[in-house]
Amino acid sequence: TGIDPIYYDIITCENCWYTTLREYWDRGMATEHYFMRTMHKFKSEPGLRYNLNKWKYDINDVFLAYYFTLFCVNECFNRGRSLIFAKIWLRISWLYASCGDKEMEMYASNQSRDCFLQAFSESLMDDGRNSQPLLIIAGVVCNKVGDRKNAKFFLTQAVMTRGGAEKWKEQAKALTDKFKLR
């Protein structure tokens, strides 16, 4: 109660400050030594406080962690980077929404949409049943930023996924109707 799970989707190494989404923790290619060198500039920044030992984070810690994640993903992921960025920017947009900052929420949503489009063009979302939820999320994000053409495209792809789950197909159809994308 009173804890926002999105605050804890990010993991940071206390030693080197490598930071990423929990699901990608052990998938990066950079070494601890690399991040000790790279993140040193952040550690020594005057006025920058990043307390990793808290049981409860405040919004400033969370934003800092997500922006560190963008940096770290850029540094140590080659394949699949755009899909990871899409997920991070989506979460950042949720954080801005919770703070009531509409301008930054839309900025982060647009970044997420652009990354989802890039991921799709790189065929990173075509793994059948597992891609359906991502296609639906991409469709919702596109609709949110006013990109109705791509919203319809992603939701249609979720419906047309071969071997996909019926529950996701039904949800995509319902969203297509809700957003009046037919």
What DSSP line would sit under 94-138, residue for residue?
A: HHHHHHT-HHHHHHHHHHHHHHHHHHHHTTTT-SGGGHHHHHHHH
149 and 155 Cβ atoms separated by less than 8 Å: no
| CA 62 to the chain's CA centroid | 14
Taking 80 as the threshold, does the pLDDT of residue 36 lie above it? no
Backbone angles phi, psi at 9, to 5 degrees: -80, -10
Worst-scoring range by mean pLDDT, 36-40, 93-97, 127-131, 141-145?
Answer: 127-131
Q: Which of 9-13, 76-80, 125-129 has the highest mean pLDDT?
A: 9-13
The pTM of the full predicted model, rounded to 2 decimals, is 0.88
pLDDT tens digits for range 124-147: 665 555 689 999 999 999 999 999
Between 35 and 90, name the one with better pLDDT.
90
Residues 152 and 100: their CA atoms lie apart, in Å, by 28
- In sequence order, the β-bridge partners of residue 12 are 19
